[in-house]
Amino acid sequence: MDSGQWHVEKRSSLRNDSFVKEYGPVSETGSLSIIVLGASGDLAKKKTFPALFNLFHQGFLNPDEVHIFGYARTKLSDQELRDKIHGYLVDEKNASEKADALSKFLQLIKYVSGPYDSEDGFKRLDKAISEHEISKRTSEGSSRRLFYLALPPSVYPPVCKMIKAWCTNKSDLGGWTRIVVEKPFGKDLESAEQLSSQIGALFDEPQIYRIDHYLGKELVQNMLVLRFANRFFLPLWNRDNIANVQIVFREDFGTEGRGGYFDEYGIIRDIIQNHLLQVLCLVAMEKPVSLKPEHIRDEKVKVLQSVIPIKDEEVVLGQYEGYRDDPTVPNDSNTPTFATTILRIDNERWEGVPFILKAGKAMSSKKADIRIQFKDVPGDIFKCQKQGRNEFVIRLQPSEAMYMKLTVKQPGLEMQTVQSELDLSYKQRYQGVSIPEAYERLILDTIKGDQQHFVRRDELKAAWEIFTPLLHRIRDGEVKSIAYKPGSRGPTEADQLLEKAGYLQTHGYIWIPPTL
């Protein structure tokens, strides 16, 4: 096959150009086998396979090298798996445009069924992978095998044992075996360390990719560029100028039939301990020595180790009314569906600045953002402080944007002030650019061997050390969840906590995303 034939139609859009420029083509040394374990589950069909298809469609996965294997307990044929995921790979509006690429992609998928603790199943999987490698004339030891565990953490240890025993490269001639594991990485410090030890006994740290999809979001990845490539932020980014930092995640729906699963974890384990804490690290960390993954992760760990123990009086938990109506949720459940907690970082840059982490389900809106509120201007000669403080807001989703709230003169003959904004809304500024899904970027990083946007073991341990004492107090009933109405802002006590922490809400100002 001519080398040009495998490239699915390249788009001339800015997205494709910038994406290729950032990552370059995937290496052509040795065949690449991507194995999705839990292939029949929701995560695989909704996130993993669509991300793989998008990478293929943009030319990042060479069909002359790559093959995709699904493995799960469900008995399916190759075609049944393809039919199962087909509807999740393309939208109706662009189905015809992508029809040829979709057909080629689906033909790359092969399915193997078997238990997660069975030698026979993984021997059959290894045989299928080896047949692919032989068909691509790959020399032994030069192949690349990527195992994506779209599975509950409880089966990570037996699955990793089977992979290690039966499915890894038999020798090292430039190839590799890597595993991707999804959150939650344990339920507390003890269980996380146990899980890390079990996986760590089988694979080296450079082989383990603990994925947190928030680290693949476009504006989260922009955080280091904003902070360290723009001179005017450097002198402002500290306790002398910043009053407080909020990192907020809201969903406007409840557990949607997943109540039993969610009740085991709660909103702190599900969102705050991982997604929001990772964002906090990028906001608060010092400039790394370089952009090498280990240098960046070193600085993140330092931030986590500087967080002082959480005080109960700086925590508000909530549970939306109707949550316990789910038959899979215990009638006496204290599991929070909402939490606001204040973290304090004991170092020279951030002493005295509250970092407010807030997450909730069944809220009034759906969004995720970072809100950095600056201190009042000393000597308020315009008498405009009541209009609100300066804020720098990074809107992660939806409608990705960055905007700076500031006070300006209202147009007219009189000297009156009003709050406005400097606005960088992505849909307006980057028209025609499709922002990559987080999973696309992170899977490609895994293939490239770049661990910058993945969680290191000591980083995971430090994160659990922060939240485990609070989680145990919640488990023991020492900290109670307060009822709140679905579709509200959450418990009123949370707003009172924000006010106590020094956050001043701007009244009368609403940011409206600009129209094209």
- 495 touches 318 (CB < 8 A): no
Sign, Cα dihedral of 257, 263, 267, 272: negative
Euclidean distance between CA atoms 67 and 282, whole angstroms: 35
Catalytic residues: 275
Angle at 87 between CA 365 and CA 8, to 5 degrees: 105
- 377 touches 385 (CB < 8 A): yes
Euclidean distance between CA atoms 464 and 189, whole angstroms: 5
Euclidean distance between CA atoms 284 and 417, whole angstroms: 32
**390 contacts: CB under 8 Å, gap ≥ 6:** 373, 374, 404, 405, 406, 407
- 474 touches 266 (CB < 8 A): yes
Question: For 483, phi and psi rounded to 5 degrees?
Answer: -70, 140
Per-residue exposure over 332-350, b if at least 16 CB sit within 10 Å of its own CB, e if not:
ebbbbbbbbbbbbbeeebb
**406 contacts: CB under 8 Å, gap ≥ 6:** 390, 419, 420, 421, 422
In angstroms, how far is CA 167 from the centroid of its own chain? 28
User: C-alpha distances in angstroms, 415 versus 336, 426, 470?
Assistant: 49, 33, 51
From 330, 307, 308, select the one nearest 481 (Cα to Cα). 330
Quick one: 75 exposed, middle or buried, by C-beta within 10 A (0-12, 13-18, 19+)?
A: exposed
Count CB-CB contacts under 10 A for residue 67: 22
DSSP-assigned states of every residue in 78-130: HHHHHHHHHHHHS-GGGTTTTHHHHHHHHTTEEEEE--TT-HHHHHHHHHHHH
Euclidean distance between CA atoms 301 and 389, whole angstroms: 31
Euclidean distance between CA atoms 54 and 77, whole angstroms: 23
Q: What is the CA radius of gyration of the chain?
A: 24
Question: For 89, phi and psi rounded to 5 degrees?
Answer: -90, -30
Pairing of strands 32-37, 66-72: parallel
DSSP-assigned states of every residue in 16-36: HHHHHHHH-SPP-SS-EEEEE
Euclidean distance between CA atoms 508 and 106, whole angstroms: 52
Q: Amino acid identity, residue 485?
A: K
